[in-house]
Amino acid sequence: MTAQEVRLCGLLLREHFGEVVEKVGTHLLRSGAQNLRTIIHETGISLDLVKKSLCVLVQHGACVFSSGRKGPGSPTEYQASSDRILRILRYPRYIYTAKTLYGDTGEIIIEELLQRGHMTMSSNVKTVADRLTQNMEEGRSMDYSEVSSAFSNLVETHFLQRCPPLAGLGTTDASTPATPATPANPTTPSFPDCYKVPHMTLIGRGKRQLSSEDGEEQRNAKKAKLDSDTHGDEGIYWQVNFERFHLHFRDQAIISAVANKLDQTSSEIVRTMLRMSEVTTSPTATCTKPLSANEIFRSLPSSYNIPRPILDQYLTLLVDDPMEFVGKAGESGGGMYVVNLHRALANLARATLESVVQERFGSRSARIFRLLLRKRHLEQKQVEDFAMIPAKEAKDMLYTLLSQNLVQLQEIPKTPDYAPSRTFYLYTVNQLPTARMLLQNCYKTVANLIERRLYETKESKRLLEKSQRIEAILASLQASGAEPEQLTEVEEMITAPEKQQLEALRLHINKLDSAENQVDETIFLLESYVNSTATPAS
């Protein structure tokens, strides 16, 4: 746990859950597992607020609790998970992916689960149906069965999974409801009913919210009635399966890289291979299960209409490519082929490092960096010769890269006294430590972007509140059928300079948001590469 990770986690907690949760969460990240009394004593926060903060963190899987280290009867200890908190940064990407794959219904299902941590299926279906109905034309509504079908599809493709029951609480049937637990370690096998959709007796359609103030009591009465109803899935909670989303992102990154390096047809062949291997390949495997050329040919989309000899040529091209995204594993069935997942991640991470060097230090420095990655160890004179760069310039560039820890210097003495005249000085690039360093820089960058966005919003807080009040008044007047003159009069309450300031602020905030998402894509690639080197093949 580095200082940059703790800082970013604190900013994410503050933005989504408030300052009290941030204080408790960052304290647990720095201190490790602690019991309730110790947390209260060391943070100086009241018992009630600490309990509520821990409830929020546990609800969202950002904190796990277990029996004390001193044995049975000792106080329960709480431990925050930095990995889970950092996933908050990727929420927009999860939601957008769900929208791309499953439409508006899938998008709102994932959004609701991310906002609430975990929910029962019936509760999620009702909430999503009501939200979709609210945006439909008058007289139309969303059927619960349609939302249930989309929910089941997400479970079937493992984008959603059940929360594992807590140890010692027995089974998770309707008679003994289990408290939802935090997500299990993705590398451990899931419990048997992880993706089993319960039989749910929920019939009806989404309802619109009552807009009149007089309907407040009626709304509360209806809500109480709905909450008291049973639908057959009580005690079965669902959560977003982040690891499944990450596998999807990884596959998309590989497909996109193949398309950029070769062409669209090659990327479609790799996409088909990855899709065929989804079920049979472990998330931590170094490569997919071998697939024969005959199987790949039969599984290709009919719209591509690739003849068999052309497919063989493309597979040979992919195998011979220096990036080694595809490898050959045998000759049976027209040839057995695999997608080299870990090697692909290593090559994507390498391309990212090269891109960073080029952007920061120029194309000549990037040439030296690429040269050292390929040749492993080179003396300064060799770097000058191979890179075809004048000695003075090459020396300056090497020392600049060395000062930024992007290049390392290795001393190999001929004699035990390490005399400079009898020592080889070799430059090299250690890809994994360099990737880890760049990952920390990315955490720092995102934290800076969030702080800047919060500062910009705080500076224009009065203007934003005024704009929101006027928008609310306009919406109310439009709903009641006000005259155009009245609407114009309200709109003129914001002056022209204020409108310009608001527009500039919105543009700036959008740029910062976009930058956050772009940096997160780099974070994902580097995290995947670092994790793939640490995980043994299975």
CA 37 to chain centre: 34
Distance CA 128, CA 238 (A): 14
Do 67 and 96 share a structural domain? no
The Cα-based distances of 418 to 57, 421, 428, 506 in angstroms read 55, 9, 19, 60
Average pLDDT of every residue of the chain: 82
Distances (CA, A) of 308 to 311, 433, 480: 5, 44, 66
Nearest C-alpha neighbor of 289 from the set 338, 326, 336: 338
CA dihedral 37, 39, 40, 46 (to 10 degrees): -120
Q: Is the pLDDT of residue 286 over 70?
A: yes
Indicate the helix (H) or strand (E) that contains 95: helix 91-116
Last residue of a domain, one of 240, 272, 290: 240
Instruction: Determine the Cα–Cα distance for residues 109 and 240; give it in Å rounded to an integer.
Output: 10
Which of 79-82's residues contact partners 24+ apart within 8 Å by CB, and which partners? 79/28, 79/32, 79/33, 79/34, 80/9, 80/25, 80/28, 80/29, 81/182, 82/1, 82/5, 82/6, 82/9, 82/29
Token pair in block for residue 317: 């091209």
Among 36-50, 277-291, 367-381, where is mean pLDDT lowest? Answer: 277-291
In this structure, are 257 and 334 located in the same domain? Answer: yes
pLDDT the model gives residue 209: 66
Number of domains in the chain: 4
pLDDT band (50, 70, 90) for residue 220 = low
| Domain identity same for 288 and 310 | yes
pLDDT at 133: 84
Indicate whether 103 and 152 sit together in one domain: yes
Size (the chain), residues: 538
Which pairs count as long-range contacts for 392-400, CB under 8 Å and 24+ apart, including other chains?
393/364, 394/368, 397/361, 397/364, 397/365, 397/368, 398/368, 398/427, 400/361, 400/365
pLDDT in tens, 155-164: 888 899 888 8
pLDDT-derived band at 179, boundaries 50, 70, 90:
very low
256 and 333, same domain (yes or no): yes
Which of 335, 518, 354, 528 lies closest to 442 in space, CA to CA?
518
Domain identity same for 73 and 95: no
Question: What is the structure's pLDDT at 452?
Answer: 92
The three-class DSSP label of residue 300 is: coil
Amino acid type, 134 = Q
Q: Give the rounded percent of residues in the chain with a pLDDT score beyond 70.
A: 88
pTM for the whole thing? Answer: 0.83
Residue 414 within any structural domain of the chain? yes
* Paired strand residues for 165: 180
Q: Which domain holds residue 292?
A: 252-339
Band of residue 224 on the pLDDT scale cut at 50, 70, 90: very low
User: What CATH number is given to the structural domain containing 25?
Assistant: 1.10.10.10
Boundary (domain end) residue, out of 407, 433, 459: 433
Residues 75 and 109 occupy one common structural domain: no
pLDDT at 176: 32
* Structural domain includes residue 459: no
User: Within a domain: residue 292?
Assistant: yes
CA-CA distances (angstroms) from residue 216 to 135, 210, 228?
21, 8, 19
Same domain as 100, residue 46: no
Q: What is the 8-class DSSP label of residue 331?
A: S
Query: Is the residue at 382 inside a domain?
Result: yes
What pLDDT, on the 0 to 100 scale, is given for residue 34? Answer: 85
Q: What are the tens digits of pLDDT across the range 402-456?
A: 888 888 888 888 777 777 777 888 888 888 999 999 999 999 999 999 999 988 8
Higher pLDDT residue, 310 or 526?
526
Residue 215 lies in a domain: no
> Is a pLDDT exceeding 60 seen at residue 187?
no
pLDDT tens column, 313-341: 888 888 888 888 888 887 776 678 888 88
**Does a structural domain hold residue 172?**
no
- Domain contains 450: no
One domain for residues 96 and 68? no
Last residue of a domain, one of 412, 433, 454: 433
Percent of the chain whose predicted confidence (pLDDT) is above 90 = 21
The reply to whether 390 falls in a domain is: yes
